[in-house]
Amino acid sequence: MCPIETSGNQRTVKLLVIFIIPSMVSVMALTLGAGAFMVLLSEEVAQANPDIAFMRLPVLLIAEAVLLFFFVACALSIPLLSRVYKSRIYGGNSSQLLRWMGLSFFAMIPLLIGLLFYTKAHVAGAITNLYCLLGAGIAFAAGCILFLFAHLIAQGADYKQEVDLTV
C-alpha cells in the first residue's frame, strides 16, 4: 500500500471520529434525559393505575440501572475513539476498554430478564416484556461484538509488537 492511500485513509478515519464523538456525547445526553423522563413517566403511570403503583419503584430502579450501564458503555467509547483518532488503537488499554464496554452490555441482560419476570408476574400481557426480550437480545449481541473486537485489537497489538521488535 502506498503512503498516499494510507494518509488518505487516516484522514477519513479521523473525519469519521470527529463526527462520531459528538454523536456519542449526544447519545449520552439523551440517555440522561431518558432517565429523568422515566421518573416522571413512572409517576404518571402510578397515578393512572393505582392497582400497580407498588411496582413503580422496582421497575424504575431496574430501568435506571439498565440506562446507567448503557451510559457507561457510551462513556467508555470516548477514550477509545480518541485512541483511534491518534492512531494508537493497538496501544495501551484499547482492548480493555472494549471488554469493559462489553461487560456493561452483558450486565444489562440479568436486569432485563429480572424486569421481564417481575412484570410478567404482576401485569398480564405487558408490552414491557417484549421490550425486555428485545433489549436483552440487543445487549447480548452488542456484548459479543465488543468482546470480539477486543480480541481482534489484542491480537493486532501483539502482531504490532512482534513487527516492531523485528524491525
Please report the pLDDT score of residue 2 as a whole number.
Answer: 42
Provide, rounded to the nearest whole percent, the portion of the chain with pLDDT above 70: 94
Please report the pLDDT score of residue 5 as a whole number.
Answer: 46
Please report the pLDDT score of residue 4 as a whole number.
Answer: 41
Mean of all residue pLDDT scores within the chain: 89
Mean per-residue pLDDT pooled into runs of 10, the chain (167 residues):
57 93 96 95 90 89 96 96 89 89 98 93 82 96 97 87 74
- Structural domains counted in the chain: 1
Q: What is the DSSP string of 10-54?
A: HHHHHHHHHHHHHHHHHHHHHHHHHHHHHHHHHHHHHHH-GGGGG
- The percent helix, strand, coil of the chain (3-state, each to 5) is 90, 0, 10
3: how many CB neighbours lie within 10 A of its CB? 7
Domain carrying residue 98: 3-166
Global pTM?
A: 0.86
- Mapped onto helix, strand or coil, the DSSP state of residue 158 is helix
27-59 pLDDT tens trace: 999 999 999 999 999 999 889 988 888 988 999
Please report the pLDDT score of residue 161 as a whole number.
Answer: 77
